[in-house]
Amino acid sequence: VAALCAGCEGASGNKKRRQRAHRANSLDRELSVKREACAASARAERPECDDGDDASVMENCVLRCASASCYDEVYGRDALEEGEVDTERGRAFRSCAREELRRLRGYQTFGTE
């Protein structure tokens, strides 16, 4: 019996990893849809966000709309500036926003499994 179940634990672990990956992809899609809705809303309702010369103004508005708490945590003291690409803070924002969506959706967080 032990020989038959030697791979059982690994299979269960693989299933959990696939479930987490699926949730992460789902959360990324949801965040992307939310960002698109925020961009459309900002263009239509917030003229101060649509600075044709500076795309970072719109990006800051979209990020703030997508998650105000994550925006404050990641960019609050130092907003994106014209032409700035900050990969590290972008990843931190996405991670924060995904965690926020997990809490809102009632998903179990990765650290508690």
Helix (H) or strand (E) holding 1: none
Mean pLDDT of the chain: 83
Residue 80 has pLDDT above 50, yes or no: yes
pLDDT score at 113: 41
Global pTM value: 0.71
Based on its alpha-carbon atoms, the radius of gyration of the chain, rounded to whole angstroms, reads: 19
For residues 1-27, average pLDDT: 65
More confident residue, 113 or 18: 18
Which residue, chain included where needed, has tokens 């019996």? 1
Q: Report whether pLDDT(63) > 70.
A: yes
In this prediction, residue 54 carries a pLDDT of 86
Look up residue 74 and give its two tokens.
Answer: 């990641």
Task: Report CA-CA distances (Å) from 86 to 2, 26, 27, 59, 95.
Answer: 51, 24, 22, 12, 14
pLDDT category at 107 given cuts 50, 70, 90 is low
